[in-house]
Chains A and B, each alone.
Chain A
């Protein structure tokens, strides 16, 4: 293992240009993948924010006994799909309308806006089927006059979400595949540049494990360095975009570690495959 590390470091110092080139290539492949990841991540969180506004509103008939509505609110809050329930009285409804539509405040007179129960749904229950099922259960109450949840809007949002997920996964796979192919071929170049060492090792009777080890270490280190460099690049880009374009979210710690380790893993596997080809003979 010590020998493997020494040989790997030696390869770096003997061919600094080639090593730098492979690290940069790995970094840029991962950078492209990382940018895609950032865009996907932010689209997702934007969508999630919009989704949070999915709510079912049940309008309450005038003159309903407040105790009945209060009891209903308690029941509804216990639905498994429900995140929160809020009772909006007639007065509150009017105030809100005035606030939101300030210049038209004269239009409203007390009593023309009904009280309502506003139900927000948990994540994962904001699709049309669940929304519909919740609203049907609200209809059961006698005092409920009318129910609104923006059916069309919920359906469009849901479609958008499905399409975005599918596109994200397939594009992500394509990006990852391209990155793996590019990284694989740079590593193969590095292995090729050292085919002399490999030939001599074979000749003097080194076992395949011994021959492989330095290359695996080298590939791992290159992948790791490339991953870290890609991290820096995405961070800089992210800061730039944040300052001049829009505020966005960055990867969390888990994704960062995963990304960098992923780079190292690709380097490791790429080396294993390339050296394996050299060793496959006889």
Chain B
């Protein structure tokens, strides 16, 4: 579902923020992104939601390639992703439910659909009772729940969380983290950037560790992508862009991983992504 192939990112000023990183994330996975501040965690997430483009290499997300994606394909991709941040990024002058509804309104969701969707997702994050509260009337943890609700309201393939507990006390941190696990348990992949090593060590989740832009450890690397997890190159276009994705060159998929069934689902959902639909 997400695949980085030899991705390097240089910002206009400064050295490489990400240096030749290759990894993949399957549907339904829970992945920690760890590393000290400045290691490149946020950069990886930004590359996924196409706030930045790679300087070298290829980023594939939900069947779209950073190499071939045009500017006006970005909004459609972002609608299939949810993103949350350390600073919540809510609109201060709108209530919790208005903040969530805003995300639907601006992508043209019809008014009748918005009400039930917002109610459902606020219930999911445990904030139904505070739907009409303004952000400043909510605790940090509750504000992050609103942000999560907004990120979830379009049923994303993956929730990208950039230090989601960075501004929270221990109690709220546990609550938010439990919520992310629940969300993951219901089938949504979660990628969470954090420098809270204690949290990461205490759990046996897949961990990508970064240091100064280099991917120094991937606890899931022993489980490579199933051959059909990624769309084969579109004939004649980006053939050879991902030489390590050749079917047969990969070890077999380990049992228990999000399997082929999920990928079929993805191909169906991808809609415009012809490459996936045509996968053998």
Give the B-binding residues of A (Cβ under 8 A).
Answer: 3, 14, 196-197, 199-208, 210-211, 282
Contact = CB atoms under 8 A, between A and B. Distances in A.
B107 interface: yes
Given A206-B107, A210-B108, 16 more contacts: A3-B105, A196-B91, A201-B106, A202-B78, A204-B78, A204-B79, A204-B150, A204-B154, A206-B75, A207-B75, A207-B107, A210-B106, A210-B107, A211-B106, A282-B52, A282-B71
A197 B91 contact: yes
Most chain B CB within 10 A, of A196, A199, A211, A282, is at A282
Contacts of A201: 106
A282 B78 contact: no
A207 B76 CA distance: 8
B133 interface: no
A215 to B, nearest CB: 13
Contacts of B53: 282
Contacts of A207: 72, 75, 107
28 contacts: A3-B105, A14-B93, A196-B91, A199-B89, A200-B89, A200-B91, A200-B102, A201-B106, A202-B78, A203-B78, A203-B89, A204-B106, A204-B107, A205-B74, A205-B75, A205-B79, A205-B154, A206-B75, A206-B106, A206-B107, A207-B75, A208-B72, A208-B75, A211-B106, A282-B51, A282-B52, A282-B53, A282-B74
Contacts of B72: 207-208
B32 interface: no
B50 interface: yes
Interface string B62-80: 0000000001101111110
A282 B106 contact: no
A205 B76 contact: yes
Interface of B: 49-53, 71-72, 74-79, 83, 89, 91, 93, 102-103, 105-108, 150, 154
Q: Which of B93, B106, B150 is most buried by chain A, counting CB atoms within 10 A of its CB?
A: B106
The 4 closest A-B pairs by CB, nearest first: A205-B78, A205-B79, A206-B106, A204-B103
Contacts of B106: 3, 201, 204, 206, 210-211
A196 B78 CA distance: 17
A200 B75 CA distance: 12
Nearest to B80: A205
Contacts of A196: 89, 91
A282 B107 contact: no
A207 B109 CA distance: 13
Given A196-B89, A200-B89, A205 B50 contact: no
A194 to B, nearest CB: 10
- Count chain A CB atoms within 10 A of each CB in B74, B75, B107, B108 and give the residue with the most: B75
Contacts of B91: 196-197, 200
Contacts of B150: 204
A200 B92 CA distance: 12
A210 B103 CA distance: 12
Contact of A205 (B51, B77, B93, B102): B77
Given A196-B89, A197-B91, A203 B49 contact: yes
A190 to B, nearest CB: 15
